Structure 1
Amino acid sequence: MKLIGSTTSPYVRRIRILLDEEPHEFVNLDIYGEGRDELRRNNPALKIPMLEDDGQDIYDSRIIARYVSAKQGRDPLTWNQQNQLTLIDAANDSAVTLLLSERSGLDTSADVMFFNLQRERIMTTLRTLAAMVDDGQFEEWNYPAICLYCLVDWLDFRSLVNFEGVESLLSFRDHHREQPWVAATDPRTA
């Protein structure tokens, strides 16, 4: 099994944590530099992570998680857990869009509909996820909790949001810092 990605991607990190002790090779790419050609050769969607296993290529973190979980004999996610992932991915996608826009020299703080919609999606979603945390919906360390952890930690790492009003997300993150593979996949040590 080979996982292709980067050490700073929250989508890759969630799969690395899920893989845990599963034997695999991790290929760390600089997807905006020298690794771009390898990414082109391996994933026509030009995104990370990507998994190669026994001739099977899988191009998306959500599908990789289903594949790995099935191999590990884990129960499939419930509809509520699928909805949790949709919320997490929505915030993550919008945050990545803002980060890439900033790195492209765009002023993401401008009062522009596109950026306003991304910020609104992020904060609305984070408020909903914080309420779910407060309600105890992420107490079990499972794939949705791993994804939430990776989102919150990455948002903090990249300083992309103000956590005022959703502090329980930071508390959730801090509570799970000792989980297996969390420290080993910290993007700050990449």
Structure 2
Amino acid sequence: MKLFGSYTSPFVRHCRIVLAQHEQQFEFVPTDYAQSAQHSPAQRVPFFTHNGLKLHDSSSILRYLRSLADQPFCPVPEQFDLYCLVNTALDTTVNLFLLERDGITVDQVPYLQRQQARVTSILDELNQRDWPMGDNTNDAHLRLACFLSWAQFRERLDIHQWPELQKFLSTMNQQAWFANTHPALS
């Protein structure tokens, strides 16, 4: 079992958490942009191999890992919808971050302003919810925690604007299985 990715990627972190939860032995292969473009048609991390199977997206990897442990991946529509909503915000935020690294900022492009508004709208919606704390098998919650932690690590958002999400992340950060995978520890 091999997981290809970077320690700072929130998508990779989610996979590492699930692998650790199930005590799966795996090889982590640090992978940069050039390597991911060479070895994955998605040209991004993570990608994964196991017994001849190759998966190219964190969601398919998570689904596979949960199936190996006889656990469901987002078993009810509401949980999968939440996972997708968080994933949209995460993917958009990562894209804005990477564009900014290339010198293209939100204030320069109206389309990017709409993308930033999308992220804010999603976070506003999520902040209205009650969040159970410390559920390590709910992949929608894990994706949200990985997103919020990465966004703080990369200084992409001020979580104080969303006090319910701030409490949620604070509780997750107190869980060893979550804290031990923080990107700053790589």
- With normalisation by structure 1, the TM-score equals 0.89
Q: Corresponding residue for 1:125?
A: 122
Distance 1:86 1:28, change over 3 A: same
Structure 2 length as normaliser, TM-score? 0.90
Is residue 75 of structure 2 the alignment partner of residue 73 of structure 1?
A: no
Write out per-residue CA displacement over residues 48-87 of structure 1, whole angstroms, 9 at most, x where no aligned residue. Answer: 1111000000000111111110011102421111101111
Specify which of 138, 141, 161 is matched with residue 165 of structure 1.
161
Which SS does the other structure have where 2:173 is aligned?
Answer: coil
In structure 1, give the amino acid aligned to 2:48: L
Q: What is the identity, as a one-letter code, of the residue corresponding to 2:164? A: S
User: CA 1:126 to 1:138, structure 2 compared with 1: closer, same or farther past 3 Å?
Assistant: farther
Is the CA contact 1:16–1:181 (under 8 Å) kept in the aligned structure 2?
no
The counterpart of 2:140, out of the listed 135, 144, 152, is 144
Q: Percent identity?
A: 31
For the pair 1:7 / 2:7, whether they are aligned, the reply is: yes
> SS of the residue aligned with 1:57?
strand
**CA shift for structure 1 position 113:** 1.6
Tell me, yes or no, if the aligned pair for 2:133 and 2:172 is still in contact at 8 Å.
no
Q: Distance in 1 between matches of 2:65 and 2:43?
A: 21
How far does the alpha carbon of each residue in 1:26-60 deviate from its partner, in whole angstroms, 9 at most, with x for none?
111232xxxx1x32342111011111000000000
**Structure in which a larger fraction of residues adopt helix:** 2
Report the alpha carbon displacement of residue 164 of structure 1 after superposing the two structures with TM. Answer: 4.2
The more displaced of 148-157 and 179-188 is 179-188
For residues 1-150 of structure 1, the aligned pairs below 5 Å read 1-20=1-20, 21-31=23-33, 36=34, 38-77=35-74, 78-110=76-108, 112-132=109-129, 135-136=130-131, 140-141=135-136, 142-150=138-146
Change (3 A) 1:164 1:96: same
- Runs of at least 5 residues in structure 1 that lack an aligned partner in the other structure: none
User: How far 1:145 moved relative to its partner?
Assistant: 1.4
The 2-side partners of 1:108 and 1:116 are apart by 5
In structure 2, list runs of 5 or more residues that go unmatched: none
Contact 2:12 2:58 in 1 (8 A): yes
Structure 1: distance between partners of 2:57 and 2:133:
23
